[in-house]
Amino acid sequence: MNTSNDQEERKYPLNRLYFYLTEGCNLACRHCWLSPKFDSTGEKYPTLPVEMFEMAIKEAKPLGLTNVKLTGGEPLLHPQFTTLLEIIRREKLTLTIETNGLLCTPEIAKEIAKSPNRFVSVSIDGADAATHEWVRGVSGSFERARQAVSNLVAVGISPQIIMSIMPCNVGQVDAMIRMAEDLGASSVKFNIVQPIARGERLHENDDALGIETLIKLGRHVEMDLAKNTEVNLFFDYPMAFRALSRIANGDGCSVCGILGVLGITGSGHYALCGIGEHISELVFGRAGADRLEEVWQKNPVLNELRFGLPDGLDGVCKRCLMKQRCMGSCIAQNYYRTGNFWGPYWFCEQAKKRGLFPESRIGT
């Protein structure tokens, strides 16, 4: 006989764990939504104990775990990073890594390459050192990030480059694509600065790009620039603004996986995602102290999202024809901004107020 828990597990498998491995970071990026403490060596602030990492994976596999993402802070600051890779390989999980590249030496690149199913992204926020290092806050970081891409390519990994778009670098989009081609990257993802933590200050000080500029740039990337390069391009604005042809081709546009994801912070706490670093009510327990199965199946916040998304969304998101795929774009961002999961996503709300939201994507 199937229990309600069995039914819930089948309906909501825990597909991915996002490990925020470190509470520190060796860069001081102006836009970071996690706002980790600066730590050039990785020795000042806590990192996730290997025992907690391994325990979380062991408990998550029966719940459906297939992928692990290693992020930070800066994940390569973790003093036992290669041990974590060994555990992931042993458990036959696919691997995603988000890094700033400073510590991605040829030796580390070789270790990452031992994982047969891996995806690596390296953040580069300018086509020249002055721009990138103004954003990232550490001199020398530009060449080290470029070298990280080269090191990965040399061992058979063609990484993605992530560029966060700001007024200081918006004129370098074309140059970034050329750089990606020259380095051997597989794709470039253009991120929008989110109004969380340090990014919130950028928005408040008008140091972030406006909605109209972002929409125009996104369309230019999708409809013009993408046709003239072998590098895959992805502009990370809400799905309602993306070209239907791109969505149909599956160019980075899939159903939001929020209902199959759980975050684990550097202190070992289960959380909705890295937002748990800022909002205590979105922390759900701790590895080793709380059974992951119990957290995943019975936590009231997670169940509220399961039963409420996407029809519980408010404002323009409620009427958006893309809500079944988009799921509110970023539930964590909505909660950070309004204290309400169901509030409209900030980008879409601003676009609607300015008459820029596509009317063809709004239902009755």
pLDDT tens string 280-298: 999 999 998 999 999 999 9
| Nearest residue to 28 (alpha-carbon basis) of 69, 72, 82 | 72
Please return the burial class of 244, using the count of CB atoms within 10 Å of its CB with bins 0-12, 13-18 and 19+: exposed
Grade residue 212 by pLDDT with cuts at 50, 70 and 90. Answer: very high
Select the CATH number that applies to the domain covering 13-258 from these four: 3.20.20.70, 3.20.20.450, 3.20.19.10, 3.30.110.30: 3.20.20.70
Q: Kindly state the percentage of the chain with pLDDT values over 70.
A: 95
Sort strands 269-271 and 283-286 into parallel, antiparallel or unpaired.
antiparallel
Q: Which residue in 103, 66, 109 sits closest to 85, CA to CA?
A: 109
Q: Which long-range contacts (CB under 8 A, 24 or more apart) does 242-248 make?
A: 242/218, 243/219, 246/222
The CA-atom distances, in angstroms, between 32 and each of 138, 329, 338 are: 14, 18, 19
Provide the pLDDT for residue 249.
72
Chain segment 66-112, per-residue pLDDT in tens = 999 999 889 999 999 999 999 999 999 999 999 999 999 999 999 99
Q: Indicate the pLDDT class of residue 250, thresholds 50, 70 and 90.
A: low
- What pTM value is reported for the model? 0.93
Pairing label, strands 269-271, 261-264 = antiparallel
Position 257 scores a pLDDT of: 83
Q: In which band, very low, low, confident or very high, does the pLDDT at 255 lie, cut at 50, 70 and 90? A: low
pLDDT of 6 above 50: no
Mean pLDDT for the chain overall: 92
Q: Where are the domains of the chain?
A: 13-258
Note the pLDDT of residue 254. Answer: 59
Whole-angstrom Cα Rg for the chain? 20
- pLDDT, position 59: 97
Burial of residue 130, with CB atoms counted within 10 A of its CB: 0-12 exposed, 13-18 middle, 19 or more buried: exposed
CA distance 300 to 4: 15
pLDDT digits (tens, 9 = 90+) for 316-334: 999 999 999 999 998 998 9
pLDDT at 179 over 50: yes
* Average pLDDT value for residue range 149-166: 98
Among residues 96, 218, 228, the alpha carbon closest in space to that of 157 is found at: 96
